[in-house]
Amino acid sequence: MATVLVTGSTAGLGLSAARALIEEGHAVVAHARNHERAADIADLARAAAGLVVGDLADRDDTYRVVEQVQAVGKMDAVIHNAGIYAEPTRAPNAQGHPRVLAVNVLAPYLLTGLIERPARLIYLSSGMHTAGRAALDDLDWTTRRWNGTQAYSDSKLYVTTLALAIAARWPGVLSHAVDPGWVPTRMGGPAAPDDLELGHQTQVWLATSDDAAATTSGGYWHHQRRHTPAAAAIDPAFQNQLIDELARITGEPLR
């Protein structure tokens, strides 16, 4: 049995992954953005090993999530599922960062560095990461005109790069990025063409399976098959530059 934290587990792929893990006999630590969202998953929370609450768009709330996870105990795996899609405005958080950057990149980075190191890390990417801008001069979109779709693509390139950088830096940890496909969740919309059931299976498999393929590291996956990510994501120089920039922005160096 594995103990697995699933961020963003009140709806969509995160909820599906949490339910599947519980059905397989694993201990799930669920996460909700706030207490109202937590109430929506009362049945899941009763079956879970723990429930942590905090808005990952906010740095202080993210720290509180870390504290709650640490109080539960050591995780065997973390599925960094929480994410937001293209937003019509920059929507800065309390620290002045665009929400899409804060939730999709800064929160996974902080959780990675501050939670006691698990054996497995899974980060939710997107096929749209290939359109991400492989440059780090304006992560906060303070000099560029806001483009929500581009900002989302950028964030998914960054989190994919983070996943593969962790695989290179921490040889004792299995770290992967997963493209779940364009699935009909609240984020994906009802017209999304991919299979919702397949959308969470790769994350669950990578978090818990002893299959040979799942116990390697540094993969970019879609429906349990490895694919080649954007060139920047596997470029050691870009990986190091991104880690350095995230450390500067957050004030938390990755150890």
- Neighbour order of strands in the sheet with 27-32: 50-53, 27-32, 3-6, 77-80, 120-124, 174-178, 219-222, 225-227
* Mean pLDDT, residues 1-19 taken together: 96
Q: What angle do CA 222, 104, 124 make, to 5 degrees?
A: 15
- Conformational region of residue 87, where left means phi above 0, alpha means psi within -120 to 50, and beta covers everything else: beta
**For range 219-226, the mean pLDDT:** 96
Share of the chain above pLDDT 70, in %: 94
Say how far residue 89 (Cα) sits from the centre of its chain.
22
List the CATH code of the domain at 3-250. 3.40.50.720
Tokens 């581009």 identify what position? 150
Q: How far is CA 227 from the centre of its chain?
A: 18
pLDDT in tens, 50-77: 999 999 999 999 999 999 999 999 999 9
Active site amino acids: 152, 156
